[in-house]
Chain A
């Protein structure tokens, strides 16, 4: 007869600690590649940019410290000031117009049975490469393009020089930006509108609210957190406008009419090999983005209504 000794029971606390250690190891394995990528491609360049903002470096010769000279140089540079004005103009035109259009589209599609089809159509530019979008619009804006041909044949006038006229070039960039972003916001707004409780709408209708009052006093306030989110994202995206400008209006358009901050950064860095001023301009853009986003967060207290309020 053999006797077996029962295995000593492992205390539950020790078991849990072992699982945690194992989980943590696997956690690092899964998160590791992403972390490495983030350190190499985001954190590294970010730190390098901060360092270079205080240095003079052309990529070929020795790095020299220049203190705040790059910032002084950039803040008094007419080109940067023009870039900031152009970028803010793009943001101030494309964000409200784009969001208003997206809201209109969302409201129009809400009750439509075939809305999925329309959503696919509106969303197509969002999933299309910006470069491809810009190249297509470049063809449309040509003097012998479809748009100019339509204007000439319909109104019997000389079509405008969309990309060559300094005043129109920026508008052209705005048109393309709005066209390519409206689909995403429309989808987001539609989801928000569909999430509103029908009982709230019915109650308002019983109180005699018309379509306009329903939209402006009930539905928009209820989706205001979503509108706020879209505004933040759209504004930040507008501040980073580059590829549309780069492809649509080569060399930042006539008389730098479409020169944006990010184009300015690119031009200084990779056109002129002035990585110090280029990095300083990047830091200025970062500060500008933080200030504008901060202002938007401050404004949300007045315009954004949360259900818990």
Chain B
């Protein structure tokens, strides 16, 4: 080893130690790597301890603990420990410190905005061979196309979506009726008449009636879903091409106009205490683009009977691929119990695992085939099948963008300037192209 590389290693080690120390001081409890495997059981089932980590609400964490209990009952030779982190914003920095100091859990969640970097850093266990091996509890084919995104590179899979949430238009039938709208969006969609023109016409009527037309969260799924639904193209491989695609420019121009004339509203900018949820359940807005978790908001307000969900409108009324929010489950490349970790990973992600986690008012949608009953079981919303259809053809964030941390949020900031009238559509798309080129490098 040369002096130079020894110095580099020493400095990197020093920096890593400082990072780990700093974060250890900030975060309670460690991710503690598992004890080495004590050997397989008589039936060939791996054994040992699997430590895994995630973020989540108290309700979700309770469900995960129940899953652990069920898993350990099924595989008594494996002990599973969950090390949760309450806040999503703290989760990845803690995981990074653990990976750097070689104390990371065996299995862990990764957000779609951080996944690409973890894959590029080569810290995740390759999964293709394990999924294809005889006896695997899950195969790659079980997942819906379009949901892997940055989890795959050069044909290898490093993580898989644990569940997903297609962003769709939830709509308030009462608000539509108050604006004099008699047509039902989901019914129109069923006969491929849910067109952009019809959607914008409804929004105009809502605004004329003193209501908010549509509310959106400002993130990648909003602008890329709109662009895709209008026939535009944001990326060509690793290159952002939206600024040179006439359909994209036209779509973003319309989007900007509707935000600027206040028919559309950016949900993130609404004040605390008078936010989008509050507006929506008080029948003050026609549409709200969200995931399946909207059911919880509507049920807790006791107004669920007035709402349904519909896909993104398109120029010709036919369904188009739109954004699907996802988080991923990966295995630590340095796990000492790769077999046990993979068994846990596969049981967590397969149809039975997803049914267990998402049944009974779950707030997401399965990412694998064979578990759709959890979305359809309550017959709510009426167009629940529409959520599944959107997942089947949907896409997760573009891998090129997802590989650069915070690039998506920086691009969303540029779109916010458009929505606030501080930039025009072409200028916004040019700025996005320049930023993407600088960060992605192509």
* Interface residues in chain A, defined as those with a beta carbon under 8 Å from any beta carbon in chain B: 40-41, 44-45, 47-49, 51-52, 55, 57-63, 65, 138, 141-145, 148, 161-164, 254-256, 267, 269-275
Contact = CB atoms under 8 A, between A and B. Distances in A.
B25 interface: yes
B95 to A, nearest CB: 10
Contact of B121 (A60, A256, A275): A60
A69 to B, nearest CB: 14
B11 A60 contact: no
13 contacts: A41-B21, A44-B14, A44-B21, A45-B21, A48-B19, A63-B8, A143-B272, A164-B272, A255-B413, A256-B413, A273-B117, A274-B405, A275-B15
Nearest to B120: A61
Contact of B269 (A44, A49, A164): A164
Contact of A59 (B100, B120, B122): B100
B272 A59 contact: no
A293 B25 CA distance: 29
B271 A62 contact: no
B86 to A, nearest CB: 13
A271 B405 contact: yes
Contact of A275 (B19, B118, B269): B19
Contacts of B416: 255
Given A270-B93, A271-B405, A52 B15 contact: yes
Given A51-B14, A270-B96, 6 more contacts: A48-B14, A51-B15, A59-B100, A60-B123, A164-B270, A271-B405
A272 B271 contact: no
B272 A141 contact: yes
Contact of A143 (B89, B118, B274): B274
Given A59-B100, A60-B100, A45 B22 contact: yes
B406 interface: yes
B271 A58 contact: no
Nearest to A141: B272
B272 A142 contact: yes
Nearest to A40: B21
A19 B202 CA distance: 91
B72 interface: no
Contacts of A142: 271-274
Contacts of A148: 273
Contact of B273 (A44, A60, A145, A267): A145
Contacts of B271: 142-143, 161-164
B301 interface: no
Interface in B11-30: 11-12, 14-19, 21-22, 25
Given A143-B271, A163-B271, A48 B405 contact: no
B164 interface: no
A164 B92 CA distance: 27
Contacts of B25: 41
Contacts of A52: 15
A143 B273 contact: yes
B118 A163 contact: no
B14 A58 contact: no
A49 B19 CA distance: 10
Nearest to B416: A255
B117 A58 contact: yes
* Most chain B C-beta atoms within 10 Å of own C-beta, residue among A55, A141, A270: A270
B99 A138 contact: no
A152 to B, nearest CB: 11
Contacts of B12: 57, 62-63
A80 B408 CA distance: 19
Contacts of A144: 273-274
B15 A57 contact: yes
A53 to B, nearest CB: 11
A21 to B, nearest CB: 34
A60 B117 contact: yes
B405 A273 contact: yes
* Most chain B C-beta atoms within 10 Å of own C-beta, residue among A47, A60, A144, A148: A60
A61 B121 contact: yes
Contacts of A161: 271
Contacts of B99: 59-60
A218 to B, nearest CB: 47
Nearest to B18: A48
Nearest to B405: A272
A150 B405 CA distance: 42
A298 B241 CA distance: 55
A-B CB proximity, top 4 nearest:
A142-B273, A60-B121, A143-B274, A48-B18
Contacts of A275: 15, 19
A44 B117 contact: no
B15 A48 contact: yes
Interface in B291-337: none
A297 to B, nearest CB: 30
A14 B96 CA distance: 56
A63 B406 contact: no
A44 B97 CA distance: 16
Contacts of A40: 21
Contacts of B93: 269-271
A63 B15 contact: yes
B14 A59 contact: no
Nearest to B94: A270
Contacts of B92: 270
Interface string B374-412: 000000000000000000000000000000011000000
Contact of A63 (B11, B118, B413): B11
Nearest to B99: A60
A45 B18 contact: yes
A144 B275 CA distance: 10
B273 A271 contact: no
A143 B15 CA distance: 44
A305 B416 CA distance: 52
B88 to A, nearest CB: 11
A90 to B, nearest CB: 21
B44 to A, nearest CB: 34
* Most chain A C-beta atoms within 10 Å of own C-beta, residue among B17, B18, B269: B18
Contacts of B15: 48, 51-52, 55, 57, 63, 275
Nearest to A273: B405
A224 B120 CA distance: 57
A223 B405 CA distance: 51
A273 B403 CA distance: 12
